[in-house]
Every structure is written in C-alpha cells, then in structure tokens.
Chains A and B, each alone.
Chain A
Amino acid sequence: MSALIESDVAALVQAAIEKHGRNPDAFIPILSEVNHVFGHVPGDAFREISRQLNIEGGRVNVVESQLYGLASFYDMISTKPRGRHVIKFCENAPCHVVGGKAVWDTLQETLNLKNGETTPDSKWTLVTTSCLGLCSVGPVLLVDDDMYGNVTPEQVTDILERYE
C-alpha cells in the first residue's frame, strides 16, 4: 500500500471511530465505512483499526484477526480488492422466477465474468447477492449504489454503458 493510502486509512479510521465510538458495537460500522470508501477493507486497515481502538481511552481490546473474522463473515464488506464498479445481482427466488436467470446469463456473457470475478482492467466486479428487498420490481441489480429494477436481458448493455 502506498504511503498516501496508508495515511488515508488512518484518517478514515479516526473519523469512523469518532462517529461510531469505541465500543464493540462500533466494529461493524467502522469496517463498513472503510469498505465504502475503498471498495474493500485492505489488509493494513485491520491493523490500523485495532491500533486506533486500542490506544488511549480505548475500552475494548480488539485485534486484526477478530476484525477480519467479522469482515469476511458479512457479505457487504469485502476483504479482497474489487473493480471500480461492483454489480450485485439478486439471485434469490423472487427475482429468479420472473426472469432473473436470463439477466444473470447475459451479465456473465457481456462482461465475460463469473460470480465473484473482476475484469482484467479492474472496471467491473460481478457478484451475486441475497435479496435486496426490492422484490416488487425484480429482477433487480445494483451497480454501486444505483438500483435497477424490472431489468431485462436487452437492457444490460445499456445499463453497463452508463458507467465510465
């Protein structure tokens, strides 16, 4: 990790701790914030979070292994680098029965990716996700924070073209 990013992580972690506090109930929100900014939680960030939580005024003692255990458990936090844009496709039954599989196949073909993979140019990462609670407009896919409902295979290219 470059020196620039390292100081970024430190500042980000500090801000997250100020916002969410130092108690154990802040661990997941802090990891989520780091994940939101970097797209994943880099290895050094675990150590940085534990370092900052354990210094002055820290009521908790947490080490990077525990934080890694958390991050890898929760689906919205990634421990591996992802592309600039992450496509999350709902693979659950309500989207599946209204034509989700065709959309998923088209996505895989168009991007030439399988579930969990990232394109060589680091533009796209394609993952499946569990239900997003938007079942009334399924099939649903999420590009970064943008939600697309009632998606048809024909719309896939159009949606992908919106992103740089």
Chain B
Amino acid sequence: MKTKRAMILVSNDPESIRLGANEVVQHLNEALASYDLQDEVDVSTISDVGYSNILPLVIVYPDTVVYGPVKASDARYLVEEHLYKGRVVNDLLAPPKALTGPIGFLRGHKGYNPAEQRVVLERAGRIDPESIEEFISANGYEALGKALSELTPEGVIEIIEKSGLQGRGGAGFPTGRKWRFVRGAKGEKKYVVCNADESEPGTFKDRLVLEGDPHLIIEAMVIAGYAIGADEGYIYIRGEYGLAYQHLETAIAQAKEYGFLGDNIFGTDFCFNIHVHAGAGAYVCGEETALIESIEGKRGEPRSRPPYPTTNGLWDKPTLVNNVETLANIPPILRNGADWYKSLGTPSSPGTKVYTIMGNVNFRGVIEVPMGITLREVINIYAKGMKPGSILKLAQTGGSSGSIIPADLQDTPMDFESFRKAGVSLGSGALLICDQHTCIVDLVKVLLQFFRFESCGKCTPCRVGAQRIYEITKRLTQGQGEIADLDIALDLISEMERTSNCGLGQTAGTAFRGMMTHFREEVEAHILNRVCPTGVCSMDPETAQSDYIFITQEK
C-alpha cells in the first residue's frame, strides 16, 4: 500500500447520493488531479453515519475536519484551501451542533456531545465498506482468527454465554444458550441465518451496519458457524436495502478471495459459505420461521412452534437465526473478552444498544449507548431536545409492535429487565418521540393500518382481528366511535395476544392497549364530545369510507 498523506471520505447513503454525493466525489478527484495531489490524497466513501441535515458529508483525515453539506461546486475550493494550502475552510464546516458520535468526538467537541459507546457501529461510517483492507486494519477478522486458532467451538460458546449477550431482535433471548441448543441439536447439516429483514418501522440500525461494515456480519457468521458446527449461512436481507445488498455481495467476494470465507478458512479444515437472499417486502418475514419459509421459496407465513428452528429450521435442519445487531456484538466480545462486555450496560442487560431516534426532536438518527440509559437522557442529550415549541407527550419504543410510553415514564432505565417490569417492550430499539400535536388515536390508527397491511393472513385472530381493531380506531377518528367499541377492541386484543400464531398478531394491539391505559380521556373525548383534542382527526363522518369495494351480487 502506498503511503497517503490524507484521505477524504464522502458520505454515500441514499440521501447523500440524491443530494449529489457522487458528483462531489467526481469533482474532488478532478480537483486533486489538477493540483497533482492524486497520489497523496485518497478519496473514498462512507455509508450513512446517521446525520440528516448536513449531507453530503465530507470528512478530511487525518485532521478529522467535517464539512457539510458540500456541493460539487465547493469541491475545487475545498481541495485548494484544505489540501493544497492546508487551511480549514470555515464556511463549509459542518455546524458543531449537528455532530455527534465518533465524528463529533474526533472533532473535539467533548463536553458538548454526549458519550456514545460504539461497539456495533464501531466502524460504520469510519471505513470504506467496500474495502476489506480497511476492515482488516481496524481489527477486522481478528476475532475469527482467534476463534479458529485458539478456541474450540465449545470455548467460543462459553465466552458468548459468559458475556451475557441477549438477542437484539427484540425478545432478548440469551444468545449463548441459543448457540448451545443448535450445537447440541441432532444432525450433520446445520445452518446459520442472519436475520437482516429489518422491517420494524422506525428501525434502521441494521442497515447502517450492513451498509457501513458488512464484513463484521460475515466475520460473526463464520464464527457462529464454527461454534455450532455449520458450513453454510444465509443472510436474509429485506428487499428495500439495495445498497446494503451490494455491499454484502462485494464483501463476500473479498472475504472469499482473502480466505476468510469458503474452504479451509485460515488454513484450517473449517469451511463456510454465505448466500445473500433478498426479501421482497413483507414485515412478517422478520419472524424467524416466516423468514425460513421465505428462503425456502414459500409465502412468508410463520410456522407453528414447537418444533423450533434450533432443531427443525431451514430445509428442516437445525438452524441458528440471529439478528444483525446480535451478530455484530460477537467479534468485539471475542476480541475483548466477556468481562469487558459485561462492564458495559447493566448487570441484567450487558452491552450497548443501538437506538434509532425519530419524531419531533432536533436530532433524528442513530446512537449507540450502554443499556440502561433513560428516555429522558436520550431526548435531552442525544436527541438534542425536543423541537422548538414541542413538549414531550409520549414515546413509542420498539417500532409498531412496541409500547406507548407516556411522558411520566421517561425516567425508566431502558434495558430488558426494567422494561419488562414496567410492562413495556424494548423491542428493536426504535424510539419515536411525539409531541403535544400528536393525536394518540390518529397515531394508533396509523400503527394498526400497518398491521392489517402486514398480517400474513394465516391465522384467524391476526388476519381478522387486526382489521377489526383498525376499523374501530378509524371510526374514532371519524367521530363515529362508541364507548362499547373500546371494550370490544380490548377484548379482541387480549384474545389476539393469547391465540395468534406469532408475535405479529400477539403485539398488534400493544399500542391500542397503551393508548387506553395512558390516554383514556383523550380517546373518550373523541367519542363523548365528538372532538379531537389536538385537532388532527377529521371527526367527519363524511370521510368515513370503507377500505373495501363491495360487490353487488347480480341476481
């Protein structure tokens, strides 16, 4: 590798590309060539770093100066000033307030920006995701080397068990125990499946990992394969994630070339191959058995369990299904040890958690923080407070299936244990922050609309129940609600929780229930006074139209 004196990174997430990131790269290269700097300065790209207002973002290393937003027409001036003359271009600097995370840290705004602890997103946004060399130089594949050369499969599982890592897909099942189940399952052929069907509305953490650090997942899957005795893996990635799919394909080809994947990995007898399988738009495929059905070329309808995938999974073979974020924790744990991992987070929920923050706050994006921080901390520190004029009304955690948290619960520590006690679910880590202008009924209607659209239709409670609760909620927004409807809905929801085949139906009514627990008065205003207190709902029976076109039968 030639020695370069500087490197320029340009963000190339979809939003940056739309705003001209590719042109910026092109103009930077031209400008460098015209100053004869092309051998000294490298231009590369980074994926989504979780910023929205300052794209496209340009970072100049080693000075770690962050510019943004940068237009193609700025490129020549930037190269001339910063790289030729060595002066920082103040006009183009990204506003310090917009920066957080590792970039914010490097920029030297300590004390202003809160401390993030990036384990899962350690490299995302800091390396070129399409370069295996950059991954390796950032400790990449070190954990795999350690596992294959120093540890037995049993030893790997012991470390994972000891670390206390819990599945980050939402349920929080101990990862080490799951690995042990699959390792102990009867059968010669086993599979590792990475669940990258991240479809929970408001969740895009896995996309950042897959786009920004695809090798991390490959490394983790090979380790998992070694530990459980599998030689084949699938990454089921949702169809909407085109860029992540490309980066994974590139990464797999590179890893094969370098001998980290394929036959005789690291010169050992161990062989492992990975297929990337793109979904085609179905939320329910995030459920592990639906995901397996989908890989097998079937409709993504969840299976009846037991038996579980750990014994009867893909092609009826024992299968380990882990979420992207869960897998992303594996290499750091092996590199740094179980004790290091346990030192992060809370005793019952070790490690960090990636949250995606959305809604009426000043900063929308992704953060990775230790388990157990509170919602108040997230909003006031990481999200830089509510938007001007906004007051926190409620937050929803964990996407559409998650819980409604009213403002007065914002001091509950966010970890699996405390949330379970408070009767709310941490879910996927999505945090939707809503202000006083949000009508709870309208919000719940939108959430239920999602479930009736995404229900697979296999089991009766979910297929019909989701439609019924949606209709009841919709009637509330149109001023046609009845008090009796509320009890019917709550009753239906508890039956859906009991009898649905999978988590989708079981959690579809969570938000409705939360609404009734915390915002009953507001709901009743819609019925008794025929008024929407926030003025969001139309309350107009005229707008009441059926979602279905009914057919008049010819006699």
Contacts and interface: CB of A to CB of B under 8 A. Distances in A.
* A and B are partners in one complex rather than unrelated chains: yes
A32 B278 contact: yes
Given A74-B280, A91-B446, A133-B207, A98 B359 contact: yes
A25 B400 CA distance: 29
Given A29-B278, A136-B366, A146-B18, A94 B239 contact: no
Contacts of A39: none
A64 B107 CA distance: 58
A31 interface: yes
A28 B297 contact: yes
Interface stretch (B126-134, B140-148, B449-457, B480-488): B449-457
A77 B239 CA distance: 10
Interface string B34-63: 000000000000000010100000000000
B280 A31 contact: yes
Contact of B432 (A27, A97, A133, A148): A97
Nearest to B402: A93
Given A24-B296, A26-B297, A94-B432, A74 B204 contact: no
A74 B201 contact: no
Interface string B276-305: 011111110000000000111111100000
A98 B360 CA distance: 6
Interface string B403-441: 000000000000000000000000000101010001000
B396 interface: yes
Interface in A77-133: 77, 91-94, 96-98, 128-133
Contacts of A97: 358-360, 432, 434, 438, 443
Contacts of A132: 240
Nearest to A142: B240
Contacts of B299: 69-70, 73
Range for the number of chain B residues in contact with chain A: 35 or more
A149 interface: yes
B311 interface: no
Contacts of A75: 280-282
Interface in B362-377: 364-366
Given A28-B294, A91-B446, A130-B454, A136 B356 contact: yes
A69 B297 CA distance: 11
B270 interface: no
Looking at chain B's contact residues, the main secondary structure is mixed
A147 interface: yes
B167 interface: no
B202 interface: yes
A96 B298 contact: no
Contacts of B430: 94, 135
Given A75-B280, A75-B281, A93-B201, A135 B297 contact: no
Contacts of A31: 280
B46 to A, nearest CB: 16
Contact of B282 (A73, A91, A148): A73
Given A76-B239, A98-B358, A92 B446 contact: yes
B158 interface: no
Given A28-B280, A69-B299, A94-B432, A147 B360 contact: no
Contact of B358 (A23, A73, A129, A138): A138
B331 to A, nearest CB: 23
Given A76-B239, A97-B443, A133 B281 contact: no
A150 B52 contact: yes
A160 interface: no
B358 A136 contact: yes
Contacts of B282: 73-75
Contact of B279 (A62, A74, A129, A131): A74
Contacts of B297: 23-28, 62, 70
Nearest to B431: A94
B116 interface: no
A91 B450 CA distance: 8
* Nearest 10 Cβ contacts at the A-B interface: A75-B281, A24-B297, A76-B281, A74-B280, A92-B201, A27-B297, A131-B201, A133-B204, A94-B358, A94-B202
Given A25-B297, A93-B446, 7 more contacts: A74-B280, A92-B201, A93-B202, A97-B438, A131-B201, A136-B358, A138-B358
28 contacts: A23-B297, A26-B297, A28-B280, A69-B299, A73-B300, A73-B456, A75-B280, A76-B279, A77-B281, A91-B449, A92-B202, A92-B400, A92-B446, A93-B443, A93-B446, A93-B450, A94-B359, A97-B432, A97-B434, A130-B450, A130-B453, A131-B203, A133-B199, A133-B203, A135-B356, A135-B358, A135-B364, A147-B14
Interface of A: 23-29, 31-32, 62, 69-70, 73-77, 91-94, 96-98, 128-138, 145-150
